[in-house]
Structure 1
Amino acid sequence: MLFSSRYSTFLLLVILAVATAAYRINMYSPTNNIIQSPNDQREYRSITLENGLQVILVSDSEADKAAASLAVNVGSGDDPSGRQGLAHFLEHMLFLGTEPYPDPGEYQDFISKHGGNHNAFTAHDVTNYFFEIDNSALADALNRFAPFFISPTFDKNYVEREKNAVNAEYTSKSKDDGRRIYSAEKQAMNPEHPYAQFATGSLETLEDRPDSLIRDELIAFYQQHYSANEMKLALIGNYDLDTLENWVKEKFSAIPKRDVAVKAPRPDLYIKDQLPLDLQIEPIKELRQLKLTFPMPESLSQYPYKPLQIISHLLGHEGEGSLLALFKKRGWAEGLSAGRGVSTPWESTLSVQVQLTMIGLYRIDEITAAVFAYIDLLKAGLQDPEFIKRIYNEQHQLAELAFANQEKSKAGHYAIRLTNNLRHVPPNQVIYADYQWLTPAPDILKPYLDQLDAKNLVRVLIAPEVETNMLDPWYDTKMMLRPAFIKTETATKEPMLRPEYKVQLALPSANPFIPESFSLTDAQAQTVPKTLIDQQGLRLWYYPEQEFRLPKAKVFINLHNQDVADNAKDRIIAQLFSHSVNEIISSYTYPAYVAGLNYQLHASGRGIELSMSGYHDKLDVLLDKIVETMASLTAENVSEEEFKRYQAQLKRRLENQLKAKPYERTVSELRRWLRNPSFSQEELITVLDTVTLDDVLAFNERLKRSLYVDIYVHGTLEPDAAKSISDVLLNAYQPSGERISPAKVSKVPNTLGSNQYLQSIDQQHPDTAASLYIQGQQFDATSSDEGMTSDKARAHYALLAQILSSPYYQWLRTEKKLGYIVSASPFPQNAVPGLVFIVQSPTTDTNGILSETELFFNDFNQQLAELTLEEFEDHKQGLISRLTSKKKNMAEKVGHFWHNIEVNRLTFDTNEAIAAEVETIELADIQKLFTSSVIEKKDPRLLFSHSINAPEVNDKSAWKDLTQVNKADLEKL
């Protein structure tokens, strides 16, 4: 979803325009005419092969990971009639064998061995395949990737198996409100339009029929649409451009160029004579939302002017004078967003979404009227040349700042972005198009503004309380669709919005947070953070960024409070305190967000956490406001009525967590049980009802007296600027407490023969989910067994997971058809190692999942015995690569250091130390560990299982009831 942005004063914009333009002119270094950021030292080249495949090559001499993404101009919108989901099914099938590499697990296994990851997605008009891998393995990865588009096998056996995986993906989301609401919204669309069709696929839509075998249709669809000239490829690696180009020509030139038919003209997305429409949808979760959707002309071709983005920016503004500010003041809404929805080369939609309070649920006509009152302001502004110039200048300056200070992202993500952009913009604009803001002539905006009309509206109301009279055909979503009479002043000839409300609406004013200073620190470089202050109750860490020389900073502030760590009621109070502060300052801080300065304030298991990131100029101004509001929170700032709304909002969020996907619930309950202390959603909901506003205000006073503060400042700031941040905290609080360690990890009881524990979760969902956790006690860090350290233990279990993850996925998902969601991975909790095996299945129960998992363990024991030393070394290097992957940007570097500070590992070498231990492991060590831990079950197990009736496992004697274990009596690791 696209969210809105904001603006600043005209004088400041003029100053910035001069400064930034000069900065750009001197620093741009286009390669092969591709416009790139002055902060981007990579080399680019655009080529087109003889078969029509268009390619962007990226040579990155600093990268340790390579990536590729290939986008095909075909998606679910091209599914044949009656074969919904065929494009998606085809996407699945390409992973399951090619002529050079027929083994269906070979591609995934190769990527995993070499420190990589892979995936694909099918959208309405595009299918994208991508991977990321160690640089050294790029050529061999391409050898396996290119045949997807040249010679897939469409093995008959796996066609039948993979239909079940597609169906499992469909059923796994049958209770997901996002998917259910999306499907219901399609019922309001023109049924002749491809977008209105079911896209995932099911056993019903993909079944063999007397006159139509699904494998034949897959091959026909592939041959019809998978043509080189309908594809875009991006390739990124630590190789020179000539090498990358030669590989592309060598490996992708065999993709056939087919005679692809020009796509037929499309009907309108909505039948215009039927608009406006009212659609009511009943969700599963406690969700109340009003969504106003306007069909629009296509906007992709207008990327230099971004018409829908500018409209969304204005409608979705959250500062003073905004719709959201009015709605919050009236108690009607908790949030609002605006942005582009459908976006294809043929059409677009623009939506305004309002997160309603219970009061707002019964004010939808007034809310709708307010939106149209704001649209009137917006239209007037965007027809005024001076306003257009001001608003676009500000967007232009903010975008230029972002472009000039662009940082690297993960290679795989970047490759996807390049292929997506290449579908819609010229090669030389493939990077810059996202940042380009040209001031449009009024006639460019007019076609879009004209569609912001009450007669061109689909109004969707989502709430448990709505009236319904029909079911969506694919997800059984309860809904009602009917013609709408949108009450506007034009239609009724009378005021729909009270004048005192209307005068509170205004277009955004100047943005005071646009940065003016771009200074960089001259502080001496450091290898790790150092303390500038270490005193009773406070520790200040500082790291001057010299590698990523950008005018940015990241600040973490942890306010530790023992009461929050120890009891459920204070956890809830801390959440309500944070929420109250956020609400008070939301209008003030929104312009900072627009200007690239973000903050988050929330409760944690140890107290309150505040983080800030972005341009360092004005960071002190924002911090002053946040801390001042925290320290001065009183009943004058928060009314009893507002507090009740915040309380209801938190209760709804906690209740909705109990309706998460089955596998998510099992993992959440597993984490909660392992952490000590921790509290269930049910416990938190119970105490929530007892908390008062006086409790929250009293907590603020307690916080001032009983507190430990950990601060970390990272960026191009001087040491004095870092110290000034601690001064702000010291002026508001008197920290004198002790640092609180992260929650301990409960040691699962491990009496041989009685070390398996089961907890069932009852939830209304047709799938069964199970998370089997094996706690790594074979190399307990507290024992002297073989002198194993925690790092060594974590290294062993992580390497074991690295080796078995791909075979487990292939066995249970591809071979046994248990479900779409299958994974095996390391599951360290703090420094305690472990493994977790997760399955969500529409076809079997807990016993079936356990049975197949045990069969896999026995089979894998033999696979491990036959593993070659070469294969073992590949796995080792793949894991080491993941652990020691080069930090691509400041955010990754900050995250690494802050994690070490949080766990108090002040050598700052967690990943490096584990990687060093991996290097020393022999194959025999892993074989021994698997036998002992998994086959002989010397490591204890926890099984969290979900199904509608929460069934027990067959062998009750082997599994103990986890609810009967008293966590208070357990040793804490």
Structure 2
Amino acid sequence: MQSPNDEREYRLLTLENQMQVLLISDPDTLKAAASLDVNVGSGDNPEGRGGLAHFLEHMLFLGTDKYPDAAEYAEFVTEHGGNRNAYTSFEHTNYFFDINATYLPEALDRFAQFFIAPRFDAQYVDREKNAVEAEYQMGLKSDGRRALDVLQEVMNPEHPFSQFLVGSLESLADRPGSAIRDELLSFYDKYYSANMMRLVVLGSESLDELEDLVQPLFSPVPNKSFQHAPNAAPMFADGVLPMEVEVKPQATLRQLKVSFPIADYRSEYKAKPLSYLGNLVGHEGEGSLLSQLKAEGLAEGLGAGLGLAWRGGALFSISVSLTEEGVVNQQRVLQLLFSYLEMLREQGPKEWLYDEQAQLAQLAFRFQEKGSPMGYVSAISGGMHTYDPIDVLQGGYLMSDYQAPMLEELLGNMVPVNALVELQDASARTDLESVHYGVPYSVRQPSAQQLAAWQSGSVTDAFHLPTPNQFIAEDVSLVNIEKDNPSSPVLVLDEERKQIWYAQDEQFRLPRGATYINFRSPLVGQSAQQNASAVLYTALLKDQVNEYTYPALLAGLNFSLYKHAQGISLRISGYNDKQAVLLQELLQVMASPNFDSQRFDNIRKDMIRALENSVAKRPSSQVLDDLRESLLYGEWGEEPVIAALRGMQVEDLNAYVVNFWGSANAEAMIYGNYSPDSVQALARKLDLVLPDGVAPDLQPLKVLKIAEGESLLYPVQVEHDDAVLAWYLQGAGNSWKDRAATALTVQIMKSGFFQQLRTEQQLGYIVSTFAWPQLDVPGLVMLIQSPAADAAALSDAMNAFLGDVPLAVDEEQFQRHRDALINEVLRPHKNLWEQAEFYWQSIAKKQYEFNGRQTMANAIKSLNREQWQAYFEEVFLNQQRSLQVAAPGARGQFPRGAGRSVESAVQLKSGHAVYDIE
């Protein structure tokens, strides 16, 4: 069964080899896509061979008998406008790609060979182990992976989930009598069976044509009639729970997680007991667990739901982000948590609450919108292992089987004696160290006194079930389209302090809409103090309205509030029925905020902690943050913002807020299922926050302008052994030709860059090149994070690759790349939100003709191969506008001959030439 809003055609079939296939015909799609999900993952690794399933996923991309060139698949997909990837989870390995629709047959032929005759070439087996090792090394400082490593150590060693998942050079090494290539072949032969595979193919062809295409390509996949053996081992051995685990994190992390072993309810997808319980425990409205934790100053956030799942069992987890006070009083946190669960048991399951969730899920399915074809097929192929054939499209939305006994059974497991309590904090008392990630931790059983304390908190009057959700859309009718409705938004209100753009959506015709507002002020972006004030202000506003707005979020009515380069943005989107109610409340709070001093202090400290935790981010992400700060004026690093926050009092923020609104103006867009009177209604609401009079001038946005032939090196320190180099090359100017030539360069480079520097040279796991326009100033970035080479070697490798690019592309390849890029630029918007975002960004850039995509496509089309080569050689080879941001890692080397070295982004931008963006 498909959504009433879905006009695509579907056909489910089973091939002779027992592979289940879903075909999707979408005549309007410009991108075709396919995904094959194998019901095998890291939980199936042979004992002592951690990471083998993950390693196999890597190897399937590197040549087949029919297409032996390891680079051929990636090159074909990229040259024809596509993308490809895969992931290995505990139970699944999912392979997927998209491509310009015309080339689906050729791409599917290459894809099918992964599962028929992969080569497992010995030279790539040896090389690709380094990529797995690099991925493992990259995660050594990831607190998520570190916490999972500890969890795997404390669980039952007989359970498949206790295995090492990622893999390393050690776990994948050849051993006496056991070559890793032989084990790869054995694993593939055992598990990669057609009956364990689910294939989804989306194309522009008819269903009959798709079937005729898929049948001969995938029927040769062998069916070994494999079936998983039942897993009898429990996740935790008898008698080990309750258990307390303390973990010392890398970041300034304060998290308490309470998990309970439960049954595997995934086959009960029509009942969805975990969705019902997760919604209640994770609720953030009045009477919720989080509300009381915040009131007592113990927590900043909470999430609840399915943690881990495996055939035969699962974990339900409740994660609490603690304040400093919460760490000190974690026993009180646990007491409140168990008290809330006891309240749920006393109240018992409520069919009206279940029906409310079911109604929301039904609405979401009824008005389901198109997303990325590749993401769509990947999600469906994984779900096909769980859902009945008739439900493969709606299984994730179904809540049609209310079962009170099942809910009571589930809640009965949420008791202290069945709990795994994990604390991640710098104060953790540790006496053990995990094997794979070297994580300090400790394990103990709570005392009888602790258990009694957890159970002693009688159900407090502060806890109660959620009230009926007032934001559920009741009127889902469509407004009449006005005869003079413009094809794109027009400026319908233009006053000194406010401008409003408006258009009705005629393309998607859903009872939804987007109301976007930019409040601009000269008091944002001119100093770290201003930035810190604006970010803290938006955080406090969101916190103040959270209990009110959370039900709206559940009801498909979203809002976001955030600082941007010149002010603060407020966005409301979703069902338009109750938007006016939500917007009125939000603007009233913005006009008259009332910040509690305790919440001010807690949120300020939480922001400081988040900024301090930047050192725990992936090293490549930290280097890209430094690059962004170097290029954009108005961006500030962590240290000055932290300093500003530490010195800020609530009185300072209140004064800033008054000054901000005194200098603010607003530009808004209303697009979707709205009637014309919504314009004046919004104008009246904006008067709640906007003063009269002339608005002060805004400072122009600025981007660093690197001179022709100028080379800059910005050395940064990142606490990680890997070296990282982000090499930014700026276009020659800011014209459409510069933008087109730079984007085309990236399109041509990206596949070869990955193949040469990652697959062939094995310089690291993160190897990519991508367009990096800053406020439409064109540029590209080459990025590598490497455990194997220093930053100087990375620079040399990048430079050598650049030198080969112009001559490596023949005329036919150039045409394919150019066509692929044009198709991507002109790709129709898939849904209302993509369309709204395009209009909104065009307004921000003052492209009021809304023709930026066509102008860009025309500029790309006007470039021939000789013109592109001349641009590339002049701009990206001979007279580079170059900035290298480098983190040396353990080897301590920086790029040689990279030009003038700067000590900081502030020094770099001081007095430098700029692009002024009006």
Cα deviation for residue 953 of structure 1 reads 3.1
| Equivalent in 130, 142, 145 of residue 176 of structure 1 | 142
Structure 2 residue aligned with 1:681, among 631, 638, 647?
Answer: 638
Q: What corresponds to 2:534 in structure 1?
A: 574
The code of the aligned residue for 1:886 comes to P
State the distance in 1 between where 2:675 and 2:23 align. 38
1:833 aligned residue (755, 774, 778) = 778
Shift of 1:952: 4.8
Partner of 2:590: 630
- Aligned partner of 1:858 among 803, 807, 817: 803
2:465 aligned counterpart, secondary structure: coil
Q: Secondary structure at the match of 2:738?
A: helix
Native 8 Å contact 1:770 1:839 kept in 2? yes
CA–CA distance in structure 1, aligned partners of residues 494 and 913 of structure 2 = 32
The match for 1:416 is 378
Per-residue deviation, residues 272-328 of structure 1 (Å, max 9, x unmatched): 311111011111111101100000100111100001111111111111100000000
- CA 1:433–1:857 in 2, change beyond 3 Å: closer, same or farther? same
Instruction: Note closer, same or farther for the CA distance 1:97–1:628 as it changes in structure 2 (3 Å cut).
Output: same
User: Mean Cα displacement is larger for which, 79-88 or 647-656?
Assistant: 647-656
Q: Which of the residues 911, 914, 917 maps onto 1:972? A: 914
Give yes or no for contact 2:713–2:898 (8 Å, CA) kept in 1.
no
For 2:31 and 2:120, locate their aligned partners in 1 and report how far apart those are by CA, in whole Å: 30
- Provide Cα deviations, 1:655-681, integer angstroms capped at 9, x if missing partner: 112432111111111111111132211
Match of 1:287 among 242, 253, 257: 253
| TM-score, length of structure 2 as denominator length | 0.97
Give 1:494 deviation, angstroms.
9.6
Residues 276, 454 of structure 1: 8 Å contact kept: yes
Alpha carbons of 1:494 and 1:832: their partners in 2 closer, same or farther (altered >3 Å)?
closer
Partner residue, 1:125: 91
Distance 1:573 1:954 in 2: 38
Among 729, 751, 774, the residue aligned to 1:774: 729
Q: Give 3-state SS (helix, strand or coil) of 1:266's partner.
A: coil
Cα deviation, 1:46-101, whole Å, max 9, x if unaligned, reads 00000000011111122111110100011111100111100000000000001111
Q: Which position in structure 1 is the counterpart of 2:236?
A: 270
Moved more, 310-319 or 900-909: 900-909
Letter in 1 for 2:273: P
Q: Is 1:961 matched up with 2:902? A: yes
Question: How many matched pairs?
Answer: 911
CA positional deviation for 1:821: 0.2
- CA shift for structure 1 position 966: 4.9
- 1:747 equivalenced with 2:692 (yes/no): no
Q: 2: distance between equivalents of 1:283 and 1:741?
A: 42
Distance in 2 (CA, whole Å) between partners of 1:253 and 1:603 is: 54
734-743 vs 321-330, greater mean Cα deviation: 734-743
Equivalences for residues 129-278 of structure 1 within 5 A: 129-278=95-244
CA distance in 1, matches of 2:28, 2:562: 36
Question: Counterpart in 2 of 1:562?
Answer: 522
**Of 293, 302, 310, which aligns to 1:344?**
310
> 2:475 — aligned with what?
517
Partner SS, residue 566 of structure 1:
coil
Question: Per the alignment, in what secondary structure is the counterpart of residue 678 of structure 2?
Answer: helix
Deviation at 1:954, TM superposition (A): 5.7
Q: Please tell me the residue identity of whatever aligns with 1:423.
A: H
Contact kept? 1:571, 1:605, Cα under 8 Å: no
1:920-939 → structure 2 map (5 Å cutoff): 920-936=862-878, 938-939=879-880
Structure 1 distance, partners of 2:890, 2:65, is 45
State whether structure 2 residue 462 is matched by structure 1 residue 462: no
The residue that corresponds to 2:672 in the other structure is: 715
> SS of 1:870's equivalent?
helix
In structure 2, the residue matched to 1:77 is 43
Verify: 1:943 aligned to 2:884, yes or no.
Answer: yes
Structure 2 equivalent of residue 7 of structure 1: none
Q: Give, as a single letter, the amino acid of the residue that structure 2 aligns with 1:678.
A: E
**Aligned partners of 2:299 and 2:322 also within 8 Å:** yes
User: Would you say the 8 A contact 2:259–2:317 is kept in 1?
Assistant: yes
3-state SS of 1:80 partner: coil
Matched, 1:397 2:354: no
Kindly, what percent of the aligned residue pairs are identical?
36
User: CA separation of 1:820/1:954 partners in 2, compared to 1, >3 Å: closer, same or farther?
Assistant: closer
Deviations 1:20-50 (A, max 9, x none): xxxxxxxxxxxxxxx1111111111100000
1:865-944 alignment to 2 at 5 Å?
A: 867-936=809-878, 938-944=879-885
Matched-pair contact (CA < 8 Å) for 1:289–1:356: yes
Q: How does 1:606-621 map to 2 (within 5 A)?
A: 606-621=566-581
Q: Identify the match of residue 315 of structure 1 among 281, 284, 292.
A: 281
Is 1:800 paired with 2:761? Answer: no
How far the C-alpha of 1:174 sits from its partner, in A, is 1.2
**Do 1:280 and 1:481's aligned partners in 2 also have CA atoms closer than 8 Å?**
yes
CA contact (8 A) 1:282 1:468 kept: yes
Q: Secondary structure at the match of 1:943?
A: strand
- 2:648 corresponds in structure 1 to 691
1:972 partner letter: V
Which of 7, 10, 14 is the equivalent residue of 1:48?
14
Q: How does 1:414-493 map to 2 (within 5 A)?
A: 414-485=376-447, 492=452
Residue 460 (structure 2) pairs with residue 502 (structure 1):
yes
Asked whether the 8 Å contact 2:416–2:454 carries over to 1, the reply is no
The corresponding residue for 2:660 is 703
Q: Distance in 2 between matches of 1:960 and 1:348?
A: 53
Q: 1:486 to 1:404 in 2, by over 3 A?
A: farther
Q: What are the Cα deviations for residues 559-578 of structure 1, in whole angstroms up to 9, with x where unaligned?
A: 11101131221211111211
| Unpaired runs of at least 5, structure 1 | 1-34, 782-789
Shift of 1:508: 1.1
Q: CA, structure 1 residues 949+868, in 2 after alignment: closer, same or farther (shift >3 Å)?
A: closer
Q: TM-score, normalised by structure 1?
A: 0.91
Cα root mean square deviation, aligned: 1.7
Give the conservation status (yes or no) of the 8 Å contact 1:175–1:284: yes
For residues 627 and 236 of structure 1, what CA distance do their matches in structure 2 show? 44
Q: Identify which of 331, 335, 355 aligns with 2:301.
A: 335
Could you say which residue in structure 2 is the equivalent of 1:672?
629
- Of stretches 676-685 and 767-776 in structure 1, the one that deviates more from structure 2 is 676-685
Contact 2:767–2:784 (8 Å) recurs in 1:
yes
In structure 2, what residue type is equivalent to 1:265? N
Q: Distance in 1 between matches of 2:453 and 2:616?
A: 45
User: Quick check: 1:725 aligned with 2:670?
Assistant: no
Show CA shifts across 1:394-437 (max 9, x none): 11211111111111111111101211111011111011111111
Q: Once the 2 structures are TM-superposed, how far is the Cα of residue 550 of structure 1 from its aligned partner?
A: 0.9
SS of the equivalent of 2:719 reads coil
What letter is aligned with 2:582? L
* Per-residue CA distance 1:860-898 (angstroms, 9 max, x = gap): 3441xxx32221111011111111111111111111111
Amino acid in structure 2 at the alignment position of 1:477:
V
Deviation at residue 911 of structure 1 after TM alignment: 2.3
Distance 1:496 1:971, change over 3 A: same
Residue ranges of structure 2 left out of the alignment (5+ in a row):
none
Return closer, same or farther for 1:477/1:926 CA change in 2, 3 Å cut-off.
same
Deviations, residues 344-376 of structure 1 (Å, cap 9, x unaligned): 332111011111000011222111111111112
* CA gap 1:955/1:436 in 2 versus in 1, 3 angstroms: closer
Measured after TM superposition, the shift of residue 618 of structure 1 is 1.2
Asked if 2 retains the 8 angstrom alpha-carbon contact of 1:757 and 1:962, the reply is no
Distance 2:806 2:368 in 1: 48
| 8 Å contact from structure 1 (residues 658, 681) kept in 2 | no
Maintained 8 Å contact 2:587/2:689 = yes
Q: CA deviation at 1:258?
A: 1.0
CA distance in structure 2 between the partners assigned to 1:419 and 1:486 by the alignment? 47
| Counterpart position of 1:544 | 504
**Equivalent position of 1:758 in the other structure:** 713
Structure 2 equivalent of residue 530 of structure 1: 490
* Paired residue secondary structure (1:613): strand
Matched, 1:846 2:791: yes
SS of residue in 1 equivalent to 2:715: strand
State the Cα deviation string for residues 158-206 of structure 1 (Å, max 9, x = none): 1111000111111111111111112112222111111011110100000
